[in-house]
Structure formats: structure tokens, C-alpha cells
Chains A and B, each alone.
Chain A
Amino acid sequence: MPVMNSVYRHREAGTPLTDLVAYRAAGGFKALEKALADMEPDDLLYAFHRSGLRGRGGAGFPMGRKASFLPKDSALATYLVCNADESEPGTFKDREIMEMNPFQLIEGMVLAGHAVGATRGYIYIRGEYEHQARILDRALVAAREGGYLGTDILRSGVTFDLTLYRGAGAYICGEETGLLESLEGKRGQPRLKPPFPAVAGLYASPTLINNVETLAALPPIVEKGADWYAAIGPEKSPGTKIFSVSGHVTRPGNYEVVMGETTCRELLFGMAGGMRSGRSLKAFWVGGSSVPVLGEQHLDTPIDYESLNAAGTFLGSGGCIVMDDSGCIVRATLRLASFYRHESCGKCTPCREGTTWMEKVLQRMVDGQGRIEDLELLESLFGRISGRVLCALADGAVAPIKSALAMFRADFVRVIEEGGSARPEPMMEVAHA
């Protein structure tokens, strides 16, 4: 089973690297030293591009290409923003990086900031991660004292500093333009695009915005070379990806997998320990709660962007939620529907009203008030919500419901005919990864 913990240094070292001395001893800041001594910003951009690294927040857009969209020599300031608003249900990989390896994120941000000509970057962290924010606060102070951040970094003449910005509880602020609105001191509601943040982002200035896991992958790419990274896994989905596995598995936790060389079966049953004894797999949402659900027949799908798309789902943020056959798919789908109803920001009517309707219909099925026509009613809603809104939240709300209905229709019919869904015995026995 291929497990390669070569991208995130705390995994390679097998120990937290929250101390600057420990991070340096593990090879930290070598990439920054190399970049400032031997590379021009364009060399860095070219390395990001050649590595094939794709955005790890959910969309999977090529990072180097995104960075190349920023105008050169803009009269406005250029900004770098790290999306640390990790809120996708089932996802806790960025939490691990910030907790165990804050300097690799900082180093990656200095590299990215220098590449795009930014002198100020922001880390927007969700309010619930105050513990992780304090770890980052300390790391930022240490990085500044060590000369890795601030003015004249490593006496290179390069200036780049970081501000940690704390959110206050809103999933939608993980949507990049919602995040920018929040960072600008407004309600965190997504913007109409275009213009994209590369052209008019924070304070209407050119802005590169990337996820924690993406930015933290940059130091090894710069240090070991773009070709080294590009050679890991398949051509279109190179590198490693951290998957957070949770739910009905015996070893929930984060696992760094080599793209294309690891199957869903290896992730769920090999790494995460599989189901408890006497139980079998019912369903899994491989890339977070916003992706179409998969079943047992998909277990041998390799984990990479293309293969998962071919299986009808998305790699997403890598928050893999697993449910065994003690769980009810209708009840699980309702729980996700409730999440999106709660987190819809309310700006677009199809999403605000649609998420409410979907939750209501699923709720009455679970409560024993469902009617067989409700299945058609649900299906009629999907097209009135998806594609009629400003951001991806609504698509994320529809995907798990639409796919569950397609794959497990018989379960929905049974719940309606049997007059509801009994609550399953919760899995209280927990083993840590």
C-alpha cells in the first residue's frame, strides 16, 4: 500500500514541528533560502506551474495557472490570501497542518507572495479554530524574529508580512469571494464573478487565494524541484493529497495518499481500518459533504481528480465521510441538507429557499410524513437551484441529495412506505488513528 509522507514535513518527521528550531532541523526554510538566493519571482511561478499542483480546497484548479492570472506590474497592491476557513463537513486536514506544521504554511506563503509580488498576505482562519490560530500567532512571531517574515527577509531586500484574520462562524466564508468580503469587513456573501480575485480581489486589488494544503505544498516543490513533484502520481493529478476519513471507520484520521496509486478501498479499509466487525459499507462521500455519494461498487476507483470524476463524484476537499449499513441514507442526506440550509448565506433566492425546501421534504420523510410524490418534488427542485446562483454552495447542497436519490432510491421509497426512519445505534466505540 503506497503511503508517502514526503510533502508535509511533520508527517515525514513523524512529530509536530511547532517550534522554529525543530522545523529548521527538519529541513524547513531551505526552500525559501534557495528561492531568495537563486530564483526570480518568474522562476517561482514557473515552478508552481510545472509541478502540476492543483488547488486542495475543493475545486482542484491548477495553482500555477491561477497565480499566472494576476496582472504583472499592477498599479494596485497585490495580495496573497490563505483560505484557512476549513469548514467542509468531514474535512480536518488544514487543522492538522496548522496545528503540527505552521511554519511550512508560512514558508509556502512567503514563496507564493514573493512570486506574485505581494508584500502583505492574510490567513483567514475560521473562528472555531481559535486553538490553531494561537499556534499560528506564535509561529508568526517566531518567523518574524527569525528573519523569515517581515522586512528584508533573510537580507534579500524582499518584504512580505502576514496577518492572521479570525472568522466568526460562517461556512460561506470558505467560498473565496465570501472570504474576501468578510476580510473587507462586510457580510461574508459571495460576489458575482467575473471579475475573479486574480484581477479584482481583496480591496479590488489583484489577489491570489489558495487553500492551506496547497500553499504548504510549495516549499518541497521549490526545494526538491517541480519535476520531483510532477513525477508523483498521474500526470493530470500529481502529488499527494491529505484525506480526512471519518464516520463509521475504526481508525478515523488524516492520511496522505499518492494520487492515482491509492484506491478508495485502500483508503477506507487499509488506512482507516474499515468498518467495525459485523458491519459492511453502505455509502461514502469521498471529497466532503458537497460531492455526490458513492457506494460499494466504487471502492476500486483510484483516488485522483480524473478517476473520481469518471466515477461520478469529485475529489473535493478530501473529507471522506463513511457510513456503514447501520446508517440510513435518508437520515444522513437530511443531515447534510440541514447543514446547507443553515449555511446558505441568503443572498440568492434559489439557494436560500431551495435548501429550506429540500430539508423540509427530507425531514418529513424521516418523520414518517413523507409521500411518494415527494421524490419527484425533490427532483424538480435540483434544476431550479443548481446553476442559478452566484456560488458553489447550492451545487454542494444538491449533489449529495441528487446522487443519493439516484443510487439509493429504494431506501427512500422504503422510508416513505414504512412511515419513517428509526435512529440507528450510534457508533460510540472510537479508535484513534
Chain B
Amino acid sequence: MTEAEIRAHIDPIRHEYAEGRSLILPALKFAQTEKGHVARADLDAIAAATGFSAAYVESVASFYDRIYLEPVGKRVVSVCVTLSCMLRGSDEVLEALCAHEGLPDHGHHAGGTSSDGEITIQEAQCLGYCDRAPCIQVDAEETVGPLTPDEAVAMLDQLREAPAPVAFWR
């Protein structure tokens, strides 16, 4: 994304913050909507638009789970694996999704991006939909649940068939 595009997004909200540094996170989230991740050039553009160094912008970006500094799939599927979801079958949902995409399904490296680059599966910490456990979230869309492993896999197939989103809010 260009510096001008980022400026067009943050200039109208600049007056809401006493310090321009607060615009970095909104800028990162906005820049990410273009490709689904934040590339080196985006960090440079945000740095130019906010007046902070690219290194500083990256230090902020790297703190947050939902700012992706490497390319991810066209759709990012977050499977909540925290206790309430675990008790209702989230491990089984995660395994079914990973098996469907040919990805490792356990340990600290569960999930990943499918070989066709369409789908990223990731573990998520509590998504706040424990009343609908087990639940999953696609990008930053509304979390859905409860889902059986079969229903979750069927959702992946639907995602593949659906057109890619115009903007990647995640």
C-alpha cells in the first residue's frame, strides 16, 4: 500500500489522538487489508505516513497475533482451542481441518497454510464465543459455532469456492 493511501486513511482520524504514534496500529490494520499481510514496503509506507521509523513500526506490528508479517492464505481460519472449546471438541475440529488441508495438527506448530495458498489454519486463544463452543473465526468475520468437525470441513470447501474478499480485515 502506498504512503498516500495510508495517509488518506489516517489523516481524517489524526485529531482524535494527542500523539501520532497511536495511528500506527490503525495504519497496520488498514495496510493489511490490501494483501492480507503487511509486507516490507507497507512498513516503509506506514513509517513515512506516521513519521516513525520502519524499525519501530515493525516492533509494534510484531507484537500482535493478528498482524501478519509473512504471507498467509486468502482466508485465515482461527480455531479456538482454549478450555471451554476444548471441552466441547475443538481439538477434533482442529485436527479435521488440518487433515483436510494436509497440515500438522498438534504441538506448537499446528496449522499453517495450505499448499494452494488458499487457506491458513491457526490455533486461536479464547475468541469469546464459549457459549457456542467449539467455535471458529474466518478472518475477522463474526465467529461461528458450535460446529462439528464435518461442518467445519464443509466450511473450508465453501470458502474455497467463494470469491476472495475485497479487503482483508483480519
Report A's interface with B, CB cutoff 8 A.
77, 86-92, 95, 120, 126-131, 161, 163, 165-171, 182-189, 202-203, 205, 244-248, 252-254, 285, 289, 319, 321, 323, 327, 332, 335-336, 339, 342-343, 345, 423, 426-428, 430, 432-433
B-side interface residues toward A, CB under 8 Å?
A: 13, 16-26, 28-29, 59-60, 63-67, 78, 81-84, 86-92, 124-134, 137, 140-143, 146, 148, 169
Whether the pair B65, A90 counts as a contact (CB closer than 8 A) is no
Of A86, A185, A323, the contact of B128 (CB 8 Å cutoff): A86
Q: Determine if B26 and A166 form an interchain contact, defined as CB atoms under 8 angstroms apart.
A: yes
Max chain A C-beta neighbours (<10 A), residue from B19, B22, B124, B142: B22
A91 to B130, CA, bound (A): 7
Q: A170-B65, A247-B84 are in contact. Are A92 and B130 (CB under 8 A)?
A: yes
CB distance from A63 to the nearest CB of B (A): 23
In the bound complex, residues from chain A placing their C-beta under 8 Å from that of B124 are: 128
- A203, B125: Cβ atoms closer than 8 Å: no
Bound Cα distance A74, B13 (Å): 25
Question: Could you write out 14 A-B pairs with CB less than 8 Å apart?
Answer: A87-B126, A89-B125, A92-B129, A128-B143, A129-B128, A131-B141, A184-B22, A185-B19, A185-B21, A186-B21, A247-B84, A285-B83, A342-B125, A432-B132
Give A170 to B18 CA distance when docked, in angstroms.
Answer: 23
Of all chain B residues, the one with the shortest Cβ separation from A133 is: B140
Given the interface contacts A183-B22, A332-B83, A430-B133, does A168 sit within 8 Å of B28 by beta carbon? yes
Q: Are the CB atoms of B92 and A89 closer together than 8 Å?
A: no
- Do the beta carbons of A426 and B66 come within 8 Å of each other? no
Task: Write out the residue numbers on chain B whose beta carbons fall within 8 Å of the beta carbon of A169.
Answer: 64-67
- Name the residue of chain A whose CB is nearest to the CB of B126: A89
- Evaluate whether A187 and B59 lie within 8 angstroms (CB atoms) in the complex, with A127-B140, A166-B29, A335-B86 already known: yes
Given A185-B23, A339-B125, A131 and B88 contact (CB-CB distance below 8 Å) = no
**Distance between Cα atoms of A285 and B92 in the complex (Å):** 23
Determine whether the beta carbon of B128 is less than 8 Å from that of A128: yes
Q: Which of A128, A319, A343, A432 contacts B137 (CB 8 A)?
A: A128
Query: When A168-B28, A183-B22, A248-B87 are in contact, do A126 and B63 touch as well, CB less than 8 Å?
Result: no
With A120-B16, A168-B67, A169-B64 as contacts: A433 and B25 at CB distance below 8 Å: no
Contact of B130 among A185, A189, A252, A339 (CB under 8 A): A252
| B60-A90 in contact (CB<8A) | no
Contact of B141 among A90, A130, A185 (CB under 8 A): A130
> Shortest Cβ distance from B165 into chain A, in angstroms?
12
